[in-house]
């Protein structure tokens, strides 16, 4: 994979050699993660698909804006659209995980015409509907207090997720590594922005084929979120993984990768 930097948006990304007549996969990682979460997928799919992975703003090797408004979900979607335009990528399969699924939904709401299909891993469409989200929302509302937290404007790099395979949803070591890499301020800003996101009404307007994969033991985004999405998205396929938590990208790589490949083949994408 070739490492690149898109200066207009200060976004770090990786691509392989794009070839005609093969599908293109565009990956969006989750909150406080980075494109390194997709490393096993890059290796497996390198010769099969055109691949684009990138670091969200505030994450990995991309720039870290300082203001709360910079982390509106729309801004993440706009970054992706600008990057895709820069690379002249259209007609692709959008693969997203967790927080990245919110960005994918926002992107589809604005730019569905250039997307061939969507894969949602451990997704949600309205995090604020969760009881725990409502409970912590007052704590997250104090954006002015967040400004007092240290701001790390320089990118910090990538977490090596091989060190955190088979860790649970609330594994302290992995969470600390992620938040250290991203910064507490960015982490809290993104968490608060996600609590204000709601695309439930948009689900029925998704017309591209969609694959939804969710762990039955997910304690971050409950499995019923995936079931609602599958019921509302017209051309959807739902796969529920037994004994799987929220971190299916890392912990269930073989099953997830196989499901993506089968989906692309079945839909003749």
pLDDT of residue 185: 86
Q: Using CA atoms, how far apart are residues 248 and 233, in angstroms rounded to an integer? A: 22
- pLDDT at residue 269 in the model: 81
Q: If the chain, 269 residues long, is cut into consecutive pieces of 10 residues, what is the mean pLDDT of each piece?
A: 96 97 97 96 98 97 92 98 97 98 98 98 87 50 57 77 95 93 89 92 98 97 96 98 97 98 93
Tokens encoding 38: 């997709």
Tokens of 192: 């608060």
- Where exactly are the structural domains of the chain? 2-266
Predicted confidence at residue 135, as pLDDT, reads 45
Give the strand order in the sheet containing 236-241.
2-6, 11-15, 50-54, 24-28, 92-97, 115-121, 210-215, 236-241
Q: Residue 102: what pLDDT?
A: 98
- Looking at residue 151, what is its pLDDT? 60
Domain 2-266 top-level CATH class: alpha beta
């Amino acid at each position: 994979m070739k490492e690149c930097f898109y200066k207009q948006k200060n976004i770090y990304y990786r691509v392989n050699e794009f070839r005609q007549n093969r599908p293109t996969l565009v990956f969006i990682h989750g909150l406080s993660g980075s494109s390194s979460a997709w490393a096993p997928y890059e290796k497996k799919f390198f010769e099969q698909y055109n691949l684009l992975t990138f670091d969200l703003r505030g994450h990995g090797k991309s720039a870290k804006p300082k203001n709360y408004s910079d982390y509106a979900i729309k801004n993440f979607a706009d970054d992706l659209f600008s990057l895709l335009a820069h690379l002249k990528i259209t007609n692709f399969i959008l693969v997203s995980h967790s927080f990245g699924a919110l960005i994918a939904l926002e992107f589809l709401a604005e730019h569905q015409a250039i997307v061939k299909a969507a894969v949602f891993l451990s997704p949600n469409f309205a995090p604020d509907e969760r009881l725990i989200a409502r409970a912590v929302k007052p704590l997250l509302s104090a954006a002015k207090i967040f400004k007092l937290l240290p701001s790390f404007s320089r990118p910090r790099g990538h977490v090596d997720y091989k060190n955190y395979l088979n860790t649970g949803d609330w594994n302290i070591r992995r969470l600390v590594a992620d938040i250290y890499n991203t910064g507490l301020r960015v982490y809290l800003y993104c968490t608060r922005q996600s609590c204000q996101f709601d695309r439930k009404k948009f689900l029925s307007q998704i017309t591209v084929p969609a694959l939804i994969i969710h762990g039955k033991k997910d304690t971050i985004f409950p499995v019923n979120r995936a079931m609602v999405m599958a019921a509302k998205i017209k051309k959807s396929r739902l796969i529920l993984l037994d004994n799987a938590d929220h971190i299916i990208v890392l912990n269930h790589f073989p099953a997830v990768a196989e499901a993506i490949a089968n989906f692309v083949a079945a839909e003749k994408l």
